A and B are shown apart, each in its own frame.
Chain A
Amino acid sequence: KQEVTQIPAALSVPEGENLVLNCSFTDSAIYNLQWFRQDPGKGLTSLLLIQSSQREQTSGRLNASLDKSSGRSTLYIAASQPGDSATYLCAVSGGSYIPTFGRGTSLIVHP
């Protein structure tokens, strides 16, 4: 059974810092890995999708990498802003195409 772990569980940083959020998974037989953002009481916003054949994806200040063989992904956030404050979720999809989620990293960026 796939298990997804996210570290750290919570992070509080001053504005402007570059951040790295970590995600690890136990079964490397995945089709893709997605990073989502969830604001309090809200649904999921898809940030980046990395297919199993890819090594990284970039969108604006966000960069996600994938090392499938070691079961790891990182989400890099450059020049963090208070508006980046949210919970970041990592989800991996295997043969069933059903995402398995980690518990998330709760990020607070203070001015």
Chain B
Amino acid sequence: GAVVSQHPSWVICKSGTSVKIECRSLDFQATTMFWYRQFPKQSLMLMATSNEGSKATYEQGVEKDKFLINHASLTLSTLTVTSAHPEDSSFYICSANLQGGTEAFFGQGTRLTVV
């Protein structure tokens, strides 16, 4: 199967700072990647769809100015949590599909803790 790598796997930051999370497709090109957020004991909720070379599409209720998504190449999408607050502490995970494929491949996830 295809490999999606996410970095970092965990990060602790101070309130008010920004944090960048990277999602890479290692052995395939992904024109579209997806970002999810998971709060404790909750399901994974789709935050946004990252589109290579164009603006991301955000789900209802997700602030696009707070969660900046950049998909500058066919193998890399980044999620930047700007001016992070403790309520942004969560597990963030990305996924991508092979071109024309229906199976989703997930990164390892990033545990963000804002103190």
Interface of chain A, main secondary structure: strand
Q: Is the CB of B103 within 8 A of A34?
A: yes
Min C-beta distance of B62 to chain A, whole Å? 14
Contact residues on B (Cβ < 8 Å of other chain), bracket: 20 to 34
Q: Does A83 contact B (CB under 8 A)?
A: no
A27-57 interface mask toward B, CB cutoff 8 Å, 1 = contact, 0 = none? 0000110101000011110100101000000
Contact residues on A (Cβ < 8 Å of other chain), bracket: 20 to 34
In the complex, the chain A residue whose C-beta lies closest to that of B4 is A43
Q: Given known contacts A44-B93, A103-B43, is B108 in contact with A97 (CB within 8 Å)?
A: no
Q: Does B77 contact A (CB under 8 A)?
A: no
Q: Does A93 contact B (CB under 8 A)?
A: yes
Contacting residues, chain A, for B104 (C-beta < 8 A): 34, 91, 93, 97-99
Contacting residues, chain A, for B93 (C-beta < 8 A): 43-44
9 contacts between A and B (CB under 8 A): A32-B103, A34-B104, A41-B111, A43-B6, A43-B93, A43-B106, A43-B108, A43-B109, A97-B104
The 8 nearest A-B residue pairs measured at CB:
A43-B109, A43-B108, A31-B102, A103-B43, A44-B106, A101-B44, A101-B43, A99-B104
